[in-house]
Each structure stands twice: as C-alpha cells, then as structure tokens.
Structure 1
Amino acid sequence: MRLNVLLRNSGRVQSSRPVMRITPLRDFVLGSVRKISTVGVIGAGQMGTGIAFVAAKNAGVDVLLHDQLPAAQKKGLAFIDKLLAKDVAKEKLSEQEAKGVRDRVRAIGDLNEMGQVDLVIEAVAENLPLKQTLFSQLASICKPSAILASNTSSISLTKIAASAINPNHNPQQATHPDPSPSRVVGLHFFNPVPVMSLVELIAALQTSHDTLDRAREFAVRCGKVVTVSKDTPGFISNRVLMPMINEAIICLEEGVATREDIDQTMKRGTNVPMGPLTLADFIGLDTCLSIMQVLYNQTSDSKYRPSVLLSRMVDAGWLGKSFSPRYQTCCHS
C-alpha cells in the first residue's frame, strides 16, 4: 500500500483517496516496542533504591523493590521518602504527585513475586557467582517476555547471560534454544541515580535486538541519556575513569604531590566537579579495587594493575568516606 501525500488547503484534503494518518517518527519508534509498565529492582541499597525512585517518578511504572533483609527494605523506602520530600520542598512535585510516586513502590522479600514484571534490574554486589545464581533463578521465575537487566559496572554481560537458563526448558524436546539469555542486557545507572543523567546500555553476545530496543526505551522514559557499549571490561565509563583514579592513588603513594594538590590539579585543570581521590572516596575504595581487578584479570594489561596502596587500604577496611574516616587520614595527608 502506497502512502499518499496529503495537501491541505483551508483545512480540506485535496484528495478523494482514503486518508492515512502518519504517526510522528518518535511515536512510531517508541510505540514499536512492548511498553514496560512494571519493574522489579533487586537490591535495596543506594543504587537499587535510586533506580526504583526514577522508575516510579520519571517513567511512571509500578516498582517492586526486593531485598532479603527487612531492615534494608525499610531503609530503602525511607530514602525514597526523603527524596520525595526534597522534591516537594523545592516545588518540583506537589504533595499529591509525591504520594502517587510513593504508592507505586512496594518493598518485597520474596523473589518469586517478580513473576509478572516486564523488566527486572539487579543491583546487587559486583560478584559474578552471585549474579549468575540470581539470573539462573530469574530465568525460571520471570515471564518469558520479561527483560533481565544487570546494573553491573564492569562484569561481562555475556557470562551473566550464559547463566540465565530456564531449568524447565528441555533442549531435546524444544524446536528452538532457550530464549532466556537473549533477554539479558546491561543497564548501568550511575550514582547518585536521581542526579546522574547517563545510562550505559550493554549488549551481551546473546542479547536480542528487541531486548535492546525495549531497555533503551525504558531508560529514556527514566529521563536518562543512553550510550551503547560493547560487552568489554569496564564498558566505556570505568575503562576510562578507573585507571585515572588508580593513577592518582599511585601519585599519592609515590609522593608526587599531596592529596589536595592532586585533586585541585585535576578538578580545576580539567573542569570536573571533584578530584579523582575525592571521587574514589565517594565511590568506595573496595568498588574501585574490584573494578580494577576485573580490568586487569580480563585484559592482562599492566596499565590496569591496581595500586598497592589501594589494595592495602581495602585490606585495612579503609573503604572510603562513607565507611571510615581513616581513608581521610591516609589519602588526605
């Protein structure tokens, strides 16, 4: 069927042929994927709670926030309440709008309640065996059309996807391979999620085009700018950022400059909001070390070898400003 070009004159169509309305390109693209209306978030820590918040507030979806610990659930919901109170105080939301957002978030402790969500996002610790176990469970719990997303910042999505095998799928009887791995995708949000505007979208080797399209559409609805990366160690952000942080710690370790001068040089010389040592402090030294170890182990490139001082501080339990003031003593002297 050919599309007719419609010429209008004084509101009248100058054609006797049937009229076909042409949908704007943006509406066509967003409408071409199955819209996500319910989201599950696994892990009620700072990242998971932040993802739940933007999903409920910006994307307007119902959210199940999962954590096995009741105390973590309570803390996560309290954090969302705090964020909403700030938005009301700044007149970004009315009291009624804030209540509507809050009502869309429910904390749960049973993973089986994720059975009917359209998208599940795991935000647990950066531990491959933990994520593999979780995705193996999700492959059998979630409905076949659900997207299984990971918020990992460095771990291979292909390895995670390989574990997403539905135990009920019998390859000897089935005419097609288990589709579960094709539903796995990386949605890497940045901390703090309500503030940072970026999401990295990462495709595993198994990820389908439909999964990528739907995941991208959801991230856009959350108000995020989306960049796409191959499934490579560290993706884009951490492959560039973490070696810089590591080198800053090496400079401190070797006495090149004081903590203040290292941070001030990078902050004012490169026009970034905070220096690399302050940023490492904010991220958490254990997280920085974990990512550097992933980069080094997967590439065997010496430029990713973690700083000795970074390793020693983590060994000592000096994990950063959020955990111990001793990091300030060690790296801020």
Structure 2
Amino acid sequence: MIKLTVLVGALACLGCSAPPQAQSGASQGASVVTAAVVEAVRPGGPHPVGVAEGPALASGAATRLYYPAANAGGEGRAESPSPDHRANLARRFGADAAEILAQAVTAASQNAAPAAGRFPLVVFQPGASMGGGDYRLLLEDIASRGYVVLALSPEGSPPVSGGRYRQAAAELVEAVALARSGAVAGIEGDRVAVIGHSLGGAAAVMALADLPGAVAVNLDGDYNGPTRIPADGRVLYLLGRTEGEADRSRDRRARAWREAVQGAGDAVALQVADVRHFDFADAALIQDAVPQDRRRTRFGPIGGAKAHALTTDLVAGFLDSRLKGQADAWSAARARHPEAAAPTTW
C-alpha cells in the first residue's frame, strides 16, 4: 500500500463531455465560461485519484502528490492559488480565466487513502512562472493510470533565465532522490519518469544525465544550449507550432534536437500543427475566457478538450510502454492520433 510518509496538513481525458459555455459577452472579446468547463474533464485511467501535499525540497521548493487512491469519492479541492500566483495567471490569461482556474474542483480527492501496491514515480516540472497546479488535469490523468506523480512548485516557479534551466533540472534530480529515500512511499524507485512543460520540459531531458535509465517527456520545451540524451535515456518530445516564428528560430530548434539525439537509442519527436504552447496547461480548456489579444498565440485551433485528450493519451502510451512493459501501448496511442507526426516546421 502507498503510505504517504509526509505529514499532510488540512487541504482546505479521454472521455469528457462537451465544454459547457454560457453566452458570449465578456470584455475584450472573451466569452463567459465557468469552472464547469474544467470540472467536466475526468481522468482516463482505472484508478480514483488522491492529492496531498508532498515533501519540500532542500531548496525550499514545495511539492504536491497525485496518486492512485483506494476508493472513489471523498472531498475534492479547488486550486485556490496564492494571491501572487493568481495575479501571475491573470497577467498571462486574464482575470476571468485566473478566477475560473482558482475555483474549479477537479477529480482528485484530498488526502484520500492510497491504493494498495507500488507504482512507478513521475516527477513533473512546470514551465517558467507556471505552477505544477496549473496542469492538474494532466497530472490527475497520469495518476489514474497507476503512477505516483510528484508535482514541483504547485504555487508557481521562478521566471525564465539562463540559469533557471540547470536549476530546474537539478530540482528534478533532487525530487527523485528524495522520493526514493522514503519521503514518498509506495513507489517503485527503479521505474522513474521526469516530465515538464516549456522550460520544465527541456529541464526534464537535461536531468536524464543524472538519472540513469529514466524516461523523460518534454512538452513543447525549447532547449537553452547544448543538450545530449544519454544512450539509455528514453525521450518523448511533443511539440506544437509557433505562429509567425522566424525560419532561423525553427532551424535552431531542429538543430538542437538533432544534436540532442546523437547516440540516443530511444528518442521520439512528434509535432501537432494545430497545437500552441499553452494547449498543454489546464487553461486551454477555458481559452474562451481568455481575452482575444492573449489567446491567439497561446492556444491553437485544436481546442482545449482535444489537446488534453491527445496529450494524456500519448504521454500515457509512452510511459506505459517504457515503464510498464506494455509494448503495444505506444503504437496504439500513435494510431489513435495520426495528427501527431514527425516535425516538419519545428
């Protein structure tokens, strides 16, 4: 049985229904939506999901655990971000969207009894200035499929900088070591994946140098300087397309990937042309609440519900095939999403 060895304080998909919307009319071109849009998305795996606060890193970074739970039901939790992080979300997505994300109660039950058994460990690093809690739908889905997920910096991470890439990679390595030390029980410490979005995705690949045999998933993260995937590393690089990006920038990204995979035996890059950078975050589900001037470059024509279903299915298929020995999981996921193909525009 998973036994959470952390003292837990009182914490005040593949098949989802069509996003409910009210009539349009919000300011700056945004439509009126509610938290029900986020709450309608349910995890796709067989396990109920629990959520609890996790152990802090030595650096002071907080963590949050999403894990397979013993029973369905229990009290859900709204994200209720800190005032600082709510303000940051408002700057990025608008005040209405920030409020919706704060109010939504998703599938995980707080402090739920953990399921019996031991599960692979997944550590998640958010993008710059984003928080692990801004990807709850993805993390809950992964946990529902039989993984213990340790999300870093749930209330927001530092802004982008040259040094932040290395710091974010080091945090992933530290989090894996902390979990393996017994701070997170119920995990199979020899089956580990590190996942991230944007800067966090690039950091996940960088962390492989210090995590022999681990799996990495990079969700649309651009590499800052030379990165090399170890021969025993296994990597999924899932990227969208950036509107209006200069050819030289695209060429640089393609060149960085070619350099990264030299000598790597298991590295896959897939691009979805209709996906944009923030389609991997929960905010994609409520993009109609985001002002038009902030929506166009952040979210693509694929739509938030489809982007979430594609991401969770491909990530789960990759993890299941590499960490659980389910050889057909990846090929089946690929077959369900032919729009995810070898990059052509980077």
TM-score scaled by structure 1? 0.29
Task: Work out which structure has the larger RCO, using CA pairs closer than 8 Å and 6 or more positions apart in sequence.
Answer: 2
**Greater helix share, 1 or 2?**
1
Q: Greater strand percent: which structure?
A: 2
When normalised by structure 2's length, the TM-score is: 0.28
Larger Rg: 1 or 2?
1
